[in-house]
Amino acid sequence: MNIAASSALPQPKLLKLGALLKAYAPIIIMAAVLAALMLYPDPAFADAKAKVAENGKKGFDLFLEWAQYAAGAVIIGIGLMTMAGRVELKTFGFAALGCGIVFSAAVIVEYFR
């Protein structure tokens, strides 16, 4: 039998399935682990309402703290770029106004209540 002729034979479907599983194995494993973690009850949250709300508030406060530092860095960076002439003054004003609106949103909402 000629080797060139044997390579033209169709592959069995099982080998094609194995190649597919090999290609998508990391995604399948990651999805299975995430599903198991989401469905597994965490024993630390036995009284769920109080602890989840408390941890959610702590997480939000931590995020807000880092976001404020990031906004400060953005304002400083755009200010320096404006001083160097790489950014227009209007762009700097819009960035500062946007950061001001985003981080004072809670105060604005309370004002209109």
Got the DSSP string for 64-98?
A: HHHHHHHHHHHHHHHHHHHHHTSS-HHHHHHHHHH
* Sign (positive or negative) of CA dihedral 20, 25, 27, 28: positive
Q: Determine if the pTM surpasses 0.95.
A: no
Q: Residue 59 has what pLDDT?
A: 83
With bands split at pLDDT 50, 70 and 90, how would you rate the model's confidence at 104?
Answer: confident
Check residue 41 and give its pLDDT: 63
The pLDDT value given to residue 4: 54
The encoded tokens of residue 101 equal 């609106």
CA-derived radius of gyration, the chain: 28
Instruction: Convert the pLDDT of each residue in 78-103 to its tens digit.
Output: 999 999 999 899 999 998 898 888 88
**Helix %, strand %, coil % for the chain, to 5?**
85, 0, 15
